[in-house]
Amino acid sequence: MSSRCDSASHCFAFEQDFIGNWRCIPLCVRRKLDLCGVKLKLNHWLQLSKDQRQTLVDWPDGADAIEQLRQHLRDCTSAMADGMAKDLPPVSGAPWQQLAELPAAVQEAATARGVLMTLEQWAQLSELDRFALCKLARPGHDHHNLEAAFSEVLV
């Protein structure tokens, strides 16, 4: 099972095609956006400098840091063509934050791919791993990285 030292800035192997150039928002940043309650559009992300994007990847995810991230993103995006990043309610009690229940979408996605996923395995995953599986398994998502995600987190 996965036990990442620093989930805040960990990027998955299946994200390697855009790590470094940061042409997509990596899951570690998407998780922090959910935690601080900010809707950062891809256009916002791409207007940030490479160094600014790296700063967001490296941003810690403690409670104080997450609150500071919200204001930092407001400041960074306030002058952008798309306008300031929108506020959302910070995520609380999301399926990826629950250890006692394996989300149905993740279970169904695992079963469809012949992957055995137990509640015990789910509970042992890092929060970032659970976040990734929930995001990639959600209905309407293209699921192209889902098999790689299962392989990577269920080692």
Residue 27 buriedness (CB in 10 A; 0-12 / 13-18 / 19+): buried
Q: Which residue, chain included where needed, has tokens 């104080």?
A: 64
Per-residue model confidence as pLDDT tens digits over 117-145 = 999 999 999 999 999 999 999 987 777 88
Is residue 63 within 8 A of residue 93, CB to CB? The reply is no
- What pTM was estimated for this model as a whole? 0.91
Mean pLDDT, all residues of the chain: 92
